[in-house]
Structure 1
Amino acid sequence: MTLLTDYEILGVSYLVDVDRDMLLLVEDPEIGLSFKNMHYTDTHYLLKYNRLSPVDGDNSKVNPGQIVDVPIPHKVILNPVAMARKYGVTVEALKGRTDYDVMVDQDLLNQRINGKLPEISIAGSDFIYDIKLNALLPKDKIGGNLMIGPDVYLSEDEMHYTFLYNPVKREIVHYDRNMVEFSAGVFMAKIPNQLRLDPYGMIEKLGLHVKDTLVKFPIQKSMTAQLTPLSELYFFKALVLKNRERLIVSDKWISNRTSEKNKTTKKVKKKNKGNRL
């Protein structure tokens, strides 16, 4: 069960939910403020708070006078019990430590700094992600690279890549908009986006703030792709059904046209027979 503590911002009450990484509005715990939308510093998180809206939103169109900077304590201060449970330490061990100290695995970070590239398992096969090539390289060097290219799509929340994948051939499959059946052995694969696959690589590539990025997207010890049969996904079930219906209509149209053409041909032949001698 999630352990929650209370925190107040300018008279508005929130629940500190470490598991969801959010400050949840007490009046409606389904919404609130995400720590990922705050800027991390060594002493606090900096929140751009909209005084007229107590939840996350697009502040770009808001009157600047409505926005105030609010320092939010680290989660080890706000909810030490939940943080201790989540990261497998005692509450006593959290004293004097920052969120960065607790949330970021320094061994994994040092390994990445020294050149160890992140790995992800896809259907039992291990791949190495090379951010410079923007590709997944087979660890056993059998088969080709999986390029993050035209057949790989960014999810709506921009947190994942999705692509059609054949685990036997270990290759990305081209998406056919006219498909009328589910290809045997092809699955929808879902993997983290670049920032979650290789946060340190993105820090180097884009010059991002090191601690702010790693607190929000810690380096993972292991990652596994999610594979789903196409027949279980509504989008592909609807697509196949639509294409089959279109094909049936097309076949009927062709059949009717052929039948009409044959009838016309017969009439013409009769007319061309002329009178018998």
Structure 2
Amino acid sequence: MERELPTVNIEGTDFFVDVIKNELKEKGNPQNRMSIKNMLYVGDGYRFQYDMTINNFLPFGASMALGNNNHSKEIKIPNLVELDPIGMAKKYNRTIEEISGKTDFELTIKPGSPIDLRWNKKILPTLDIAGHTFYVDLVMDKLRPKDDFKSKGIDLSEIREYYDRYYQAYIIPYNPKTREFQEVGIRTITELPKEIIVIKFPHLSELDNVGWNIKYGFGPGHLIKEDTLQLHFKARTLPWKETNIPENIKLNLEEQKLEQKEKIEAKKLSDIFPEQKKGRKM
């Protein structure tokens, strides 16, 4: 005998919870369905905009900003494991006891996968910079050099302005000896710095997708694909020709020459028209 599906009531309308098809189906109108995939997963449940006139998602393009929102409402439903623990246990081949206290996101995690290591084992992602390993630590808001307690590492608050939206990456000057971010005087530099290199690495949301979601309040699985999630990255050291530093050096040298030329011209004029000293008044 087929098990009767549990229901969830949304603004006075009962919906069957079908965890196998991953959808809600209106009890009195089986053709009216809402896919769980079209809802925003926020860790402790799912959020979506609901239109009470059609008992379904608010149609795309319908604006609540116009004031005509008396028929729509933001809805939040619990995790499916709470709505239908029997169905979820069967779906993931677990016992009720094994899924008790877990979220839908946690049930999808494969043991030993990168998500398992990051979410359950709390292992931080790493970034290789010029041969040295850094921990991507969003809680401390920095890239921490492994086994180097003398270095303060790279403070993420100091490099926010160095994110290049065109390349979708951070491009920063870096000192390999101190293992720290080190600014370059762009307006004064006249030769290539010997102690500095320029490195390029992805946005923090890519370096630590799970940590980024936690820190900024997204659902734990937001934009995460288990088969593509990485826990180790490598920064690219850019050749000088791929940076704006050579061009700035050229401009600064030209400006220095111009200033020097102006000084020489001013000196010539002062020699031709020396400042006359005023004598004492009678």
What does 1:191-202 align with in structure 2 at a 5 Å threshold?
191-202=201-212
Aligned to 2:237: 227
Of 246, 254, 257 in structure 2, the residue corresponding to residue 245 of structure 1 is 254
Shift in Å at residue 212 of structure 1? 4.1
Aligned to 2:184: 175
Q: Is the 8 A contact 1:200 1:219 kept in 2?
A: no
1:262 paired to 2:258? no
SS of residue paired to 1:260: helix
Of 147, 153, 176 in structure 1, the residue corresponding to residue 155 of structure 2 is 147
SS of residue paired to 2:144: strand
How many residue pairs get matched? 177
Larger radius of gyration: 2
Of 148, 157, 173 in structure 2, the residue corresponding to residue 164 of structure 1 is 173
The 1:177/1:262 distance shift into structure 2, 3 A limit, reads same
Aligned to 1:120: 127
Q: Point out where structure 2 has 5 or more consecutive residues left out of the alignment.
A: 1-35, 39-59, 63-106
Q: Is the 8 A contact 1:128 1:139 kept in 2?
A: yes
Aligned to 1:111: 117
The 1:202/1:218 distance shift into structure 2, 3 A limit, reads farther
Q: Is the 8 A contact 1:188 1:228 kept in 2?
A: yes
SS of residue paired to 1:109: helix
The 1:180/1:64 distance shift into structure 2, 3 A limit, reads same
* 1:187 alignment partner AA: I
* 2:134 alignment partner AA: F
Q: CA RMSD in A?
A: 3.5
Report the Cα distance in structure 1 between the residues aligned to 2:191 and 2:109, rounded to whole angstroms. Answer: 45
Report the Cα distance in structure 2 between the residues aligned to 1:223 and 1:243, rounded to whole angstroms. Answer: 35
Aligned to 1:41: 37
Shift in Å at residue 109 of structure 1? 1.2
TM-score scaled by length of structure 2: 0.54
Shift in Å at residue 211 of structure 1? 3.5
Q: Is the 8 A contact 2:168 2:202 kept in 1?
A: yes
Residues 70-114 of structure 1: CA deviation (Å, up to 9, x unaligned): xxxxxxxxxxxxxxxxxxxxxxxxxxxxxxx99989522122122
Q: Point out where structure 1 has 5 or more consecutive residues left out of the alignment.
A: 1-39, 43-62, 66-100, 273-277
TM-score scaled by length of structure 1: 0.55
Identity %: 20
Aligned to 1:36: none
Structure with bigger helix share is 1
Report the Cα distance in structure 1 between the residues aligned to 2:129 and 2:228, rounded to whole angstroms. Answer: 20
Aligned to 1:131: 138
SS of residue paired to 1:169: coil
Q: Is the 8 A contact 2:127 2:135 kept in 1?
A: yes
Shift in Å at residue 195 of structure 1? 0.4
SS of residue paired to 1:243: helix
The 1:181/1:128 distance shift into structure 2, 3 A limit, reads same
Report the Cα distance in structure 2 between the residues aligned to 1:104 and 1:224, rounded to whole angstroms. Answer: 25
Q: Is the 8 A contact 1:163 1:190 kept in 2?
A: yes
Report the Cα distance in structure 2 between the residues aligned to 1:234 and 1:158, rounded to whole angstroms. Answer: 12
Aligned to 2:217: 207
* 1:242 alignment partner AA: L
Report the Cα distance in structure 2 between the residues aligned to 1:105 and 1:191, rounded to whole angstroms. Answer: 29
Shift in Å at residue 148 of structure 1? 1.4
Shift in Å at residue 141 of structure 1? 2.2
